[in-house]
Structure 1
Amino acid sequence: MNDVIWKFFFGNVRISKNLILLLVIGGLYAISIALSNTFVNIYLWKQSGEIFAIALYQLSSVMTQPLSFLLAGYMAKKWDRIYSLRLGVFILTAFYLTVLLAGDRADQFLVLLGVLLGLGFGFYWLGYNVLTFEITEPETRDFFNGFAGLLTSFAGMIGPISAGAVISWMPESDGYHVIFFISFALFIAAVVLSLRMKHRKAEGPLQVKLAVNEWKQNEAWRRVLYSHFLQGLREGIFVFIIILWVYMTTNSEMALGAYGFVTSGVSFLGYFLVSRFLKRKDRKKAILCGGALLFFAVFFIIFEPTYVLLMLYGIIISVAYPLLLVPYMSLTYDVLGKANQAGLLRVEYLITKEWFINAGRVMSILLLLVGLLLFEEQFIIPVLMVVLGAGSFFIYPVIRKVEIPHTFS
């Protein structure tokens, strides 16, 4: 009976100890982020009262990440990729500690907080992505990416609703401080767990120039990088505007938590179904469907973003993201795996990928900041959401001609 249950949920995938450890570490990270990251934006907005201020905080973060990825890559090559992941978690604990210590004056440190967040994300995700590439194989990547998304969705279900309840029940900003402290503790737990992972030093010096040259010579890799730029173009403003709109519409942390619970519940089911049943031959169809849904969902909210319409939007994108991201990330790693000297330059290729994503995010937020200076907020934000939201729709045309090796089908 146990074998039947295992096979239903996991199929015939062979799961290693390191793969399990990486999933658990990613799960702890996801819970911590789900608890606090949403509410950091609200906490800072309540102090500043301006979307411009939150956009500046986000810009500081995404502009720091390219340098952070470069430094993390140097650490991964000289010492170990696990050290990069651990340092990222340590910096994120410093971020939450700074928010706690700043208290009601946190909005005076927007740039510093953004820089800390960007450094933490850069070091963490470089280490995590390198480990993902090393630990997974072509036949396990859809499972890993899907199950990682499933854990993230589960964290998104329990995190915001729990945080919203705590913040609503406790007086003034005490609830925020409790939630930020819990995130701090969860990051420490992730560091401790990482001590059990096997060390493996990458070979050779950091050679980013060689990876950049691959962009010029390898059409498949070039198309993948362009598609990541488009992904970042959409993510740049959507990652915080929707959260702010939900809170502005309801003026309730509990309502924001409920939004996270419902949308993450749908996403949880979506990631399970996609990771379990999506065939490799159907990857591109899934990417097309997911990207189109993400784009068309925008039209539900740009005219009158009521709580009901925002919830409907959230449900639609929660169906779309698993369809897009699971095959999209697997395709990315498959193309990377076939790149010139992929084993030797895996760190450099991942740095290049993240640079393209962050270039999209930076452009997105810069357009918002300039737009807010020139136009009314009520006009420019919906316009930019349509223009930038189209990024997800154009991912498919960009990667359509990327060939998936027959050995993976």
Structure 2
Amino acid sequence: MLRSVAKIFLGDVPITKNLLLLLVIGGLYAISISLSNTFVNIYLWKQSGEIRDIALYQLASVLTQPIAFLLAGYIAKKADRIYTLRLGVFILTAFYLMVLFSGESAEDVIVLLGILLGLGFGFYWLGYNVLTFEITEPETRDFFNGFSGLLTSFAGMIGPLSAGVIITWLPDARGYQFIFFISFALFILAVLLSFRMKHRRTNGPLYIKTSTREIKKNPAWRRILFSHFTQGLREGIFVFIIVLWVYMATSSELALGTYGFITSGVSLVGYFTVSRLLKASQRKRAIFIGSILLTAAVFLIVFHPTYPLLVSYGIIVSAAYPLMLVPYVSLTYDILGKATDAGELRIEYLITKEWFVNGGRIVSIVLLLIGISLFEDKIIIPILMVICGSGHFIINFFIKDIDTSFLTTKKEIKAGMPENGGGDSLT
């Protein structure tokens, strides 16, 4: 029945039990993160009052993630990729437990918290990305990425607003502790659901050197990886600076939650529209338009980040992200599927991709830390926001020469998938 409802709402695409399971697990993850992750930054910032401390917390996370991806890849090859997803969720539950128990002393363990967060993200996303590559096929990939974004947007609507209301309703730190506990419970539920997935061993050692040689041999894969580095440039500092600016402009968790509700509502409509209407032949054009909007929106807020301007910025980027990310993520997986021995080396290729993304994030956060140590925050942060904010636009220069004509040849596409003739390996 769930499949029938999904097909009525989402269109005539082949929907499997395992695809739905992965979407539900991703949805639970999104709700948990949307409830708490935004407010962890505020919780820590209220204790220290220094952007430098939040940057160090984020830097510890992004420095840890490449190591976590490598360890997760080893486990996925020796045991199963579901174990890595499950272990990632367990580590994230440990992260929220540490935030809960550290209370007002969380500032003292801020680097350790960042390391735990990075480990959790690394293990979770390696498992999730491998499963996405295996379960989806080129004809279901835009749908999956679009609907996954739709679930994330819905979670972004109800999560921050609910958290803002709870924090406002429960004074002191009790509201924060309550939402961190809810996130912990949702992660446990995601782990339980993962037990319904069939295990699939991946034989052989981790061939990282073999996969990195593909960077030199394969121009399309090399361009995709460089584009992911520039994507990381924006994500590194924007993921927390915007949140801090919204809170600084209002001094209200409820206003921050309202911001999340509005922007995620726009994003939800965007993901639904793109996942239903976007065609593979339109991917590059969609990425170009979305990246221009993302870059232009930065100029709304860098000079005078008031709450109304921040909300306007949020609406624009929330409409632009689906337009850019859905085709961009799909294009990445399709290029990966055409790489040498993609079926056997899919884990290694995904690890390489995440190294490039996190490389960009690390560079932008390090630039911020150096900048605020040499100049006033109000001078250097806007400059870095403009520079790093152009990261998504730079993507176009790397992908423009990638040949995507193979997307029209279904048989040729499937030749690079882990299962000949289909991507759903869990049935």
* TM-score, length-scaled by structure 1: 0.98
Structure 2 residue 197 is the aligned partner of structure 1 residue 197: yes
The match for 2:140 is 140
Runs of 4+ in 1 over 3 A off after TM superposition: 2-8
Shift of 1:403: 1.4
The match for 2:244 is 244
The match for 1:164 is 164
Please tell me whether the aligned partners of residues 142 and 275 of structure 2 are also in contact (alpha carbons under 8 angstroms): yes
Deviations 1:351-399 (A, max 9, x none): 0000000000000000000000000000000000000111111111210
Structure 2 residue 155 is the aligned partner of structure 1 residue 126: no
- The CA RMSD measured in Å over matched residues stands at 1.3
Q: Distance in 2 between matches of 1:59 and 1:187?
A: 24
Aligned pairs for 1:211-250 (under 5 A) are 211-250=211-250
Deviations 1:167-203 (A, max 9, x none): 0011101000000000000000000000001111112
Q: Do the aligned partners of residues 3 and 189 (structure 1) sit closer, same or farther apart at CA in structure 2, a change above 3 Å counting? A: closer
Unaligned stretches of 5+ in structure 2? 414-427
Please tell me whether the aligned partners of residues 35 and 179 of structure 1 are also in contact (alpha carbons under 8 angstroms): yes
Please tell me whether the aligned partners of residues 3 and 15 of structure 2 are also in contact (alpha carbons under 8 angstroms): no
Identity among equivalent pairs (%):
70
Q: Distance in 1 between matches of 2:140 and 2:198?
A: 19
Question: What is the aligned residue count?
Answer: 408
Report the secondary structure of 1:139's partner residue: helix
Report the secondary structure of 1:164's partner residue: helix
Shift of 1:401: 1.0
Q: Distance in 1 between matches of 2:143 and 2:9?
A: 10
Shift of 1:11: 1.9
The match for 1:407 is 409
Q: Distance in 2 between matches of 1:152 and 1:133?
A: 19
Shift of 1:231: 0.4
Q: Distance in 2 between matches of 1:220 and 1:84?
A: 28
The match for 1:379 is 379
Structure 2 residue 411 is the aligned partner of structure 1 residue 394: no
Please tell me whether the aligned partners of residues 90 and 120 of structure 1 are also in contact (alpha carbons under 8 angstroms): yes
Q: Distance in 2 between matches of 1:238 and 1:171?
A: 29
Unaligned stretches of 5+ in structure 1? none
Report the secondary structure of 2:401's partner residue: coil
Shift of 1:310: 0.1
Amino acid corresponding to residue 49 of structure 2 in structure 1 = G
Q: Distance in 2 between matches of 1:190 and 1:5?
A: 22
Amino acid corresponding to residue 152 of structure 1 in structure 2 = T
Q: Distance in 2 between matches of 1:7 and 1:94?
A: 37
The match for 2:35 is 35
* TM-score, length-scaled by structure 2: 0.94
Q: Bigger CA drift: 198-207 or 321-330?
A: 198-207
Shift of 1:407: 1.4
Q: Distance in 1 between matches of 2:368 and 2:345?
A: 35
Q: Distance in 2 between matches of 1:29 and 1:258?
A: 21
The match for 2:336 is 336
Report the secondary structure of 2:139's partner residue: coil
Amino acid corresponding to residue 84 of structure 1 in structure 2 = T
Shift of 1:44: 0.0
Aligned pairs for 1:314-329 (under 5 A) are 314-329=314-329
Aligned pairs for 1:10-29 (under 5 A) are 10-29=10-29
The match for 2:64 is 64
Q: Distance in 2 between matches of 1:232 and 1:248?
A: 25
The match for 2:364 is 364
Q: Distance in 1 between matches of 2:226 and 2:112?
A: 30
Q: Distance in 1 between matches of 2:10 and 2:100?
A: 40
Please tell me whether the aligned partners of residues 211 and 345 of structure 1 are also in contact (alpha carbons under 8 angstroms): yes
Shift of 1:12: 1.7
The match for 1:310 is 310
Q: Distance in 1 between matches of 2:409 and 2:286?
A: 20
The match for 2:106 is 106
Q: Distance in 2 between matches of 1:387 and 1:41?
A: 23
Please tell me whether the aligned partners of residues 156 and 264 of structure 2 are also in contact (alpha carbons under 8 angstroms): yes
Report the secondary structure of 2:200's partner residue: coil
Q: Distance in 2 between matches of 1:209 and 1:99?
A: 38
Report the secondary structure of 1:158's partner residue: helix
Q: Distance in 2 between matches of 1:281 and 1:325?
A: 15
Q: Distance in 2 between matches of 1:66 and 1:4?
A: 40
Q: Distance in 1 between matches of 2:126 and 2:277?
A: 29
Q: Distance in 1 between matches of 2:92 and 2:120?
A: 5
Deviations 1:294-349 (A, max 9, x none): 00000000010000000000000001100110000000000000000000000000
Q: Do the aligned partners of residues 171 and 289 (structure 1) sit closer, same or farther apart at CA in structure 2, a change above 3 Å counting? A: same
Please tell me whether the aligned partners of residues 30 and 155 of structure 1 are also in contact (alpha carbons under 8 angstroms): yes
Q: Distance in 2 between matches of 1:225 and 1:396?
A: 12
Q: Distance in 2 between matches of 1:4 and 1:41?
A: 40
